[in-house]
């Protein structure tokens, strides 16, 4: 596939005192190494592929539970890429299958198509949010 499925850029701007988002990542394989690229979108514009249009993008070490800070209360959608090769985008096999792990809010999203913002959106409250997401890896 010529165009990248997820294109992410690193951003680490956080604001103290804003509610955190706790993400529990089911099915993650931290032993594979790489980085987690977590993109938080406020609107459908650019979702899920264009990390330049995300509200925030975080580059984190892969683990089962992560906490994101600096996100004010509001409606958001999240996409996660477990970037195994460090190229900051989804890698594909010669058959067009994703080689990296991926997920989207609120429940891990579709496995065989790109998620839609409207289905991935959730309300992040002033008290914080907790989401369980399922990472998908193609065989």
pTM of the predicted protein model: 0.84
65-68 and 21-26 beta bridge pairing: antiparallel
113 pLDDT band, cuts 50/70/90, is confident
pLDDT category of residue 112 using cuts at 50, 70 and 90:
confident
Angle at 46 between CA 41 and CA 48, to 5 degrees: 70
Cβ atoms 21, 52 nearer than 8 A: no
| Domains in the chain: boundaries | 21-134
Give the tens place of pLDDT for each residue, 18-38.
899 999 999 999 999 999 999
Distances (CA, A) of 5 to 21, 24, 92, 98: 24, 23, 9, 8
Q: Is the pLDDT of residue 139 over 80?
A: no
**CA 19 to CA 93: how far, in whole Å?**
39
């Amino acid at each position: 596939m010529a165009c990248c499925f997820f294109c992410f850029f690193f951003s680490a701007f956080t604001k103290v005192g804003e509610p955190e988002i706790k993400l529990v990542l089911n099915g993650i394989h931290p032993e594979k190494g790489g980085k987690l690229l977590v993109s938080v979108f406020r609107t459908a514009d650019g979702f899920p592929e264009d990390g330049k249009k995300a509200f925030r993008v975080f580059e984190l070490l892969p683990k089962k539970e992560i906490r994101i800070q600096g996100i004010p209360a509001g409606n958001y959608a999240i996409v996660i890429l477990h970037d195994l090769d460090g190229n900051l985008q989804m890698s594909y096999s010669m058959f067009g299958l994703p080689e990296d792990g991926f997920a989207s809010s609120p429940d891990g999203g579709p496995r065989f198509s790109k998620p839609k913002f409207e289905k991935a959106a959730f309300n992040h409250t002033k008290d914080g949010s907790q989401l369980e997401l399922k990472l998908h890896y193609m065989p």
